[in-house]
Amino acid sequence: MPELSRFFGIIIRMFAEVGGQHHVPHFHAYYQEEVAIFSVDPVEIIAGSLPRRQMRLVEAWAELHQKELMTDWEALQQGKAPRPIEPLQ
């Protein structure tokens, strides 16, 4: 699963859905042992969980980079490599 960004101990990944799209555009956020899945538009958690602070950081980051997330989603679905996205600083 390609890594798109990494900030404050959070890793953001996205992958292609082989055999066609079955879900809404989404990405996975990993923090320590926690994993959450967020939809891209609107940015909201659709599965899993993160600690409150990390969830807010991921939501803020995704709001700032929604267009890039959608571009990466479309690239992956076409079999292309996604581009890295700037982390929060």
pLDDT at 86: 98
**Domain interval for residue 67:** 3-77
CB within 8 Å of 39: residues ≥ 6 apart = 24, 25, 26, 46
Name which of 36, 65, 39 is nearest 50 in CA terms. Answer: 36
Q: 44 by DSSP, 3-state: which?
A: strand
First vs last C-alpha separation in the chain: 23
Number of domains into which the chain is organized: 1
Q: Helix 52-64 to helix 66-77 angle, to the nearest 10 degrees?
A: 80
48 lies in some domain? yes
Q: Is residue 48 within 8 Å of residue 38, measured between CB atoms? A: no
84 lies in some domain? no
7 lies in some domain? yes
**pLDDT tens, residue order, the chain (89 aa):** 799 999 999 999 998 876 666 678 999 999 999 999 999 999 999 999 999 999 999 999 999 999 999 999 999 988 899 999 999 98
Q: Is residue 39 within 8 Å of residue 25, measured between CB atoms? A: yes
